[in-house]
Every structure is written in structure tokens, then in C-alpha cells.
């Protein structure tokens, strides 16, 4: 975070209000996982909580790449994308290895992301036809992109302009 704020300088905006508790509970209900969800309750819950965000981070940075004109910012974004992709692959590997409810709940999270990010059916669970899907890609083996609107719809849990993880919305130009 410090790196990003430093790189953005006076273009950095104030950190928006984040509500993990209500958002994870709302996501659990919307995904039909249960009435509540605490990603810090145990290791499996932590991995499922990470699954909510890691794939979204990868696809968000990939989707934003073409709009980043400053070489320094693009290099930083590429580095962050790489780390997000490593995290996403590790989370998917652990969840797949746990099997059973971990795979089922990961699929429910994937289905929720697909339901709220628009008409496209691009999100991928950690299995395809029962086989591991540890690196979700398009038909060319390339990480797919999400638009800003798709990412915001996911973090707002399908709401427009605010809600979900950001109850009052985001700050800055991208809202």
C-alpha cells in the first residue's frame, strides 16, 4: 500500500471505508454458503475469503493494463499482477487439495462473481468437469480481463456505486 501511495503521489486518494464483516456475511448469503462467513475463523475459511479477491485482482490488473500510460505505473501494476496471480494459483491449489466442501463453496463464490459482474460468463471455479482449474484463462491460455465496471460490481456485491465491501463507495475518479 505504501508503495502504491508513493508511486501515485498527489494523485492518490483517501482510503475508502471498508466493511469486511457485513460484506463477507452478505456474500455468504448471496452465494448460498450460509447466513454468515468469517474468513478468519480457520484456514479453510481464510482460503475461501482469499478466493473472493485474488482472481478479481488478477483480472482487474489485466483489464487495466491498456489504460496505464505511465511506464513506471505500468511496471508497478505488472509486478502486482504477478504477485496476485501467484496468490490466486496458490489459493486455488489449496482449495482443490482440500476437496469436498472447499471446492463446492469456491464454486458458489465463482458463481456469485459471475452473477454480479455482468452478462458475461467469464468467472471460473477451481474445477472444470471435475478436473483442477488452478489457473483460469481464456481459450488462448491468457488470463482474462475484467472491466472497471465488472470489478466494482463484484466488490459492491452487485450494487451500483456503493455497497458490499465498500458501503459508501470508493473515492477518486473510479467509483
**Among 66, 51, 59, CA closest to 138:** 59
Average pLDDT over all residues of the chain: 92
Flag whether pLDDT at 95 surpasses 90. Answer: yes
**Among 88, 143, 144, 153, CA closest to 119:** 153
Q: What is the DSSP string of 101-167?
A: HHHHHHHHHHHHHHHHS-S------SEETTEE--S---TTS------HHHHHHHHTTT-SSSBTTBT
Share of the chain above pLDDT 90, in %: 77
Q: Write down the pLDDT at residue 30.
A: 93
| Alpha carbon distance 74, 118 (integer Å) | 27
- Please state the rounded mean pLDDT for residues 88-101: 97
- Radius of gyration of the chain measured on its C-alpha atoms: 16
For residue 9, what pLDDT band results from cuts at 50, 70 and 90? confident
- Please state the rounded mean pLDDT for residues 67-71: 90
| Alpha carbon distance 140, 132 (integer Å) | 18
Flag whether pLDDT at 113 surpasses 70. Answer: yes
Amino acid at each position: 500500500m505504501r508503495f502504491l501511495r508513493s508511486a501515485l503521489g498527489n494523485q492518490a486518494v483517501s482510503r475508502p471505508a471498508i466493511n469486511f464483516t457485513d460484506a463477507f456475511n452478505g456474500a455468504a448469503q448471496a452465494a448460498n454458503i450460509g447466513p454468515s462467513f468469517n474468513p478468519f475463523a480457520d484456514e479453510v475459511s481464510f482460503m475461501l475469503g482469499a478466493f473472493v479477491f485474488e482472481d478479481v485482482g488478477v483480472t482487474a490488473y489485466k483489464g487495466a493494463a491498456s489504460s496505464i500510460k505511465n511506464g513506471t505505473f505500468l511496471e508497478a501494476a505488472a509486478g502486482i499482477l504477478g504477485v496476485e496471480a501467484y496468490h490466486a494459483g496458490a489459493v486455488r491449489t489449496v482449495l482443490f487439495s482440500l476437496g469436498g466442501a472447499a471446492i463446492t463453496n469456491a464454486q458458489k463464490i465463482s458463481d456469485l462473481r459471475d452473477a454480479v459482474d455482468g452478462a458475461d460468463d467469464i468467472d471460473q471455479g477451481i474445477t472444470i468437469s471435475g478436473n483442477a482449474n488452478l489457473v483460469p484463462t481464456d481459450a488462448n491460455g491468457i488470463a482474462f480481463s475484467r472491466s472497471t465496471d465488472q470489478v466494482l460490481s463484484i466488490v459492491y456485491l452487485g450494487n451500483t456505486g456503493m455497497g458490499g465491501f465498500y458501503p459508501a463507495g470508493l473515492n477518486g475518479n473510479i467509483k
